[in-house]
């Protein structure tokens, strides 16, 4: 009788025992069941955990591979937070997080992950925070996180990112915080932040930025969206010269960039969250253009004898028309002078460079204009 009882109890307890495993600590706090199995030499996700576990921390173990359905097969379908820091993870199969419908936070920081499968999170629509910091990830591919419409925080600091491709952040309409600090980024696609309408916290520091057209356009966008870190920590170098300069001192409207500015600033600002209350048009004047020299132009003209004759004719008719011409010439030189003057109006955070300047007069004809309609 006793033996039968023991056998029955034994079977019962192996199937239904959710006592806390050795090396783990289980607790309940704020109506959440927490299980912490840190530094436990675990090689895989334990299969004897309480299936009602909401928060699982298995940091500091030696889990090299996260296999398909590993959490679901361990019965852990109620997980809301998984912390897997510093667990020597190298590979995450695409179906690892399948079935975790309630997952909100995922911390995979300080592992050896190189690739993120684009379908990795296709079952985790409630995810709000993903931390990949400290992993040797080199690139983010298009449509990488497209199911994560609730994602608010994405952390890639201290990774090895060299390439963030266009549409890498597509659909992340709730993203508020994006950290790309301390990577190997030299440029970004100019539409990269188009989807990120809610973003208000962006860290791009400590990257070897090149002062190229995309970075120039992004600098303008960030200024306009109020996301620019004006501490001067964002720097870049031109391909042609080694000097390190601050983003706000870049040639924002570079000749090569002009059409990019026209085409993309408007588009991106429109889809973002600019801080303007009304429709705004930025107008720029190209101040390097060689304005026609009234006199030299005429002097070089093959029609000089005719003009001389004409002038003589005018003179013979009296000085009235002549005076008008002089007056006209004076107005024109004044206009030229004005164009050149505005290059000296450099201010902190303003958007112009040596050969372009932002003009604020309503009626002046501009060379480049960027319109932001709301």
Q: Which residues of the shown chain bind ligand NAG in the complex (CB under 6 A)? A: 18, 31-33, 50, 52, 54, 68, 85, 93-95, 109-110, 131, 133-134, 153, 155, 229, 231, 255, 258, 286, 288-290, 367
> Which SS3 state, helix, strand or coil, does residue 25 take?
strand
Question: Nearest approach, Cβ of 229 to ligand NAG (angstroms)?
Answer: 4
Whether 175 contacts 196, CB under 8 Å = yes
How far, CA to CA in Å, does 172 sit from each of 102, 109, 116, 297, 299?
A: 18, 20, 16, 57, 62
Considering the complex, state which of residue 31 and residue 241 has its C-beta at the smaller distance from ligand NAG: 31
Q: How far is 172 from 176, CA to CA, in rounded Å?
A: 9
In whole angstroms, how close is the CB of 255 to ligand NAG at the nearest point? 5
**What residues are paired with 129 via a beta bridge?**
105, 153
Which residue, 27 or 333, has its beta carbon nearer to ligand NAG?
27
Q: Please tell me the distance from the alpha carbon of residue 73 to that of residue 75, in angstroms, as a whole number.
A: 5
**CB 223 → ligand NAG: shortest distance, Å?**
13
**Nearer to ligand NAG by C-beta: 94 or 371?**
94
CB of 257 to ligand NAG, least distance (A): 8
Closest approach of ligand NAG to the CB of residue 155, in Å: 4
The alpha carbon of residue 276 and the mean position of all alpha carbons in its chain are separated, in whole angstroms, by 20
Chain centre to alpha carbon of residue 135: 19
| Pick 75 or 311: Cβ nearer ligand NAG | 75
- For residues 152 and 190, which CB has a smaller minimum distance to ligand NAG in the complex? 152
What single DSSP character describes residue 310? H
Minimum distance between the CB of residue 277 and ligand NAG, rounded to whole angstroms? 24
Nearer to ligand NAG (CB atom), residue 249 or residue 367: 367
Q: Closest by alpha carbon to 132, among 165, 148, 156?
A: 156
Q: What are the beta bridge partners of residue 229? A: none
């Amino acid at each position: 009788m006793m033996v039968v009882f023991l056998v029955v109890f034994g079977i019962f307890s192996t199937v239904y025992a959710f006592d806390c495993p050795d090396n783990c600590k289980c607790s309940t706090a704020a109506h959440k069941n927490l299980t912490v199995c840190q530094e436990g030499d675990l090689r895989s996700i334990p299969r004897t955990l309480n299936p009602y576990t909401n928060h699982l921390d298995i940091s500091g173990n030696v889990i090299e591979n996260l296999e398909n359905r590993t959490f679901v097969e361990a019965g852990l379908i109620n997980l809301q937070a998984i912390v897997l820091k510093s667990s020597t993870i190298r590979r995450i199969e695409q179906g690892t997080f399948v079935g975790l419908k309630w997952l909100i936070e995922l911390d995979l920081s300080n592992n050896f992950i190189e690739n993120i499968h684009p379908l990795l999170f296709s079952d985790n629509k409630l995810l709000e925070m993903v931390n990949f910091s400290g992993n040797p990830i080199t690139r983010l591919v298009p449509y990488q996180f497209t199911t994560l419409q609730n994602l608010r925080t994405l952390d890639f600091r201290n990774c090895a990112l060299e390439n963030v491709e266009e549409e890498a952040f597509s659909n992340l309409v709730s993203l508020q915080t994006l950290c790309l600090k301390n990577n190997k980024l030299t440029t970004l696609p100019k539409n990269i932040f188009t989807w990120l309408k809610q973003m208000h916290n962006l860290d791009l520091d400590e990257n070897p930025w090149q002062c190229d057209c995309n970075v120039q356009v992004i600098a303008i966008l960030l200024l306009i969206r109020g996301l620019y870190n004006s501490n001067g920590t964002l720097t870049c170098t031109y391909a042609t010269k080694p000097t390190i300069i601050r983003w706000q001192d870049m040639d924002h409207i570079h000749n090569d960039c002009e059409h990019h500015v026209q085409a993309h600033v408007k588009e991106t600002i429109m889809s973002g969250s600019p801080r303007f209350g009304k429709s705004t048009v930025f107008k720029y004047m190209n101040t390097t253009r060689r304005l026609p020299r009234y006199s030299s132009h005429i002097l070089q003209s093959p029609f000089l004898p005719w003009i001389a004759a004409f002038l003589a004719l005018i003179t013979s008719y009296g000085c009235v028309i002549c005076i008008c011409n002089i007056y006209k010439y004076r107005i024109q030189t004044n206009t030229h002078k004005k164009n050149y003057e505005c290059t000296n109006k450099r201010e902190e955070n303003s958007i112009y460079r040596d050969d372009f300047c932002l003009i604020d007069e309503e009626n002046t004809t501009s060379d480049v204009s960027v319109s932001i309609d709301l």
